[in-house]
Amino acid sequence: MTEMVYGTVPHRDGEPIIPKWWRTIDKLTLSCILGLCGIGLLLGFAASPPLAERNGLAPFYYVTRQAFFGTLAVGVMFVTSMLTPNMVRRLSVIGFGFAFLALAFLPVFGTDFGKGAVRWYSLGFASVQPSEFLKPVFVVVAAWLMAASQEINGPPGRMLSFGLTLAVVLMLVAQPDFGQGSLVLFGWAVMYFVAGAPLLLLVGIAGLVVMGGTVAYGNSEHFARRIDGFLNQEVDPTTQLGYAENAIREGGFFGVGIGEGQVKMSLPDAHTDFIIAVAAEEYGLVLVAIIIALYGTIVLRSFTRLMRERDPFTRLAGTGLAAMFGVQAIINMGVAVRLLPAKGMTLPFVSYGGSSLIAGGIAVGMLLAFTRTRPQGQIGDILSGRTR
């Protein structure tokens, strides 16, 4: 009966890694992720050549780089998905230490590339955005702390995770990067809720976020400008939001045709933050609906499999990763259709960007590792607090 409820699989001693991985992996989620990678490359062919021409580069310069980073991201995803939850946790603790230090030293050694926010390290041949790599390892470390607090005589993990969250969010806000800060806070809140936090406490945290936003609006010109642009009823047609809104309107149901879109000629971020506008204009609502369905399938499928998971750490970490992945996609598309203020956030696996693609590969690789079918152990082990 236990195996029927929790969906366990027989344990085969000495089974090779690759066959075991293929037998236990969530193939539907894996297929959806690869589908998003393919769509991202397809849209890269449409969106990036005009930008390459404006920058005096080869027509498919950005497409080639996206294919390279995308291949690297898929490779990282496959390797990460073969790890056990314990191995993911140990590597994440180390990775979090490096990413946290990299984020802390951004004000000293970072650059803004003329965008008004110091978020990157310039390596000459490429750039690295530490916050992208911080997100998945932060989720795992926070989940570990929360799970540890549920053990008998365990540490005050929930309070420690909250302090860690505040430190990360404050550093992101200082860049300023309110979008990534909000995403990190949201991921922590989802895990905290699943871990059994009182609803009243979460409401209080939401109130603090509103107060923080009010303070930021009054003291940050960067933040206030984006909020004012969002609240303004009239959209300047020569702004990025104006171009994106017009492109989505022109695309209609089936789009204007492959290569016939005009938004990529005007939008400097058509291949990154506003890639969904290119999809909507050239391929119409049909492709946009497919993209939304792929993201929805990944998130809902992951939640369904995690509901069967007994181990608190695995359940919390997987939930946080899936929630953050889905909300990042919602934010990117919400900005393009003017449902949300501009955030400067990529569409996972679809937008161009080396840091975004590789960090996304790490994140979904972890998610696939956490959602793999595995023996759940005996109920007596769970009740006595023993871990596998």
Cα separation, 316 vs 192, whole angstroms: 8
Q: Confirm if 41 and 48 have CB atoms less than 8 A apart.
A: no
Contact 352, 271 (CB under 8 A): yes
387: in domain: no
Start-to-end C-alpha separation, the chain: 21
**How many domains in the chain?**
1
Secondary structure (3-state) at 361:
helix
Q: Identify the CA nearest to 163 among candidates 142, 140, 183.
A: 142
Assigned domain for 323 exists:
yes
How far is 136 from 81, CA to CA, in rounded Å?
13
Q: Determine contact, residues 149/142, Cβ cutoff 8 Å.
A: no
How far apart, in whole angstroms, are the C-alpha atoms of residue 388 and residue 383? Answer: 13
Taking every pair of C-alpha atoms in the chain, what is the biggest distance, in angstroms? 66
Domain annotation covers residue 152: yes
pLDDT in tens, the chain (388 residues): 334 344 444 555 567 888 889 999 999 999 999 999 999 999 988 888 888 888 888 888 888 999 999 999 999 999 999 999 999 999 999 999 999 999 999 988 888 776 767 888 888 777 888 999 999 999 999 999 999 988 888 788 888 999 999 999 999 988 888 888 889 999 999 999 898 877 777 787 778 777 877 777 777 676 677 676 666 666 655 667 777 777 888 888 888 887 777 777 777 777 788 888 888 888 989 999 999 999 999 999 999 999 988 899 999 999 999 999 999 999 999 888 888 877 778 899 999 888 899 999 999 999 999 999 877 654 444 445 544 4
Is 388 a domain residue? no
Q: Are the CB atoms for 169 and 103 separated by under 8 Å? A: no
Question: Is 108 contained in some domain?
Answer: yes
In a domain, 384, yes or no: no
Domain of 119 in residue numbering reads as 2-378
CB proximity list for 64: less than 8 A, separation 6 or greater: 58
**How far apart, in whole angstroms, are the C-alpha atoms of residue 218 and residue 234?**
22
pTM: 0.87
- Report if residue 383 sits inside a domain: no
On whether residue 385 sits in a domain, the answer given is no
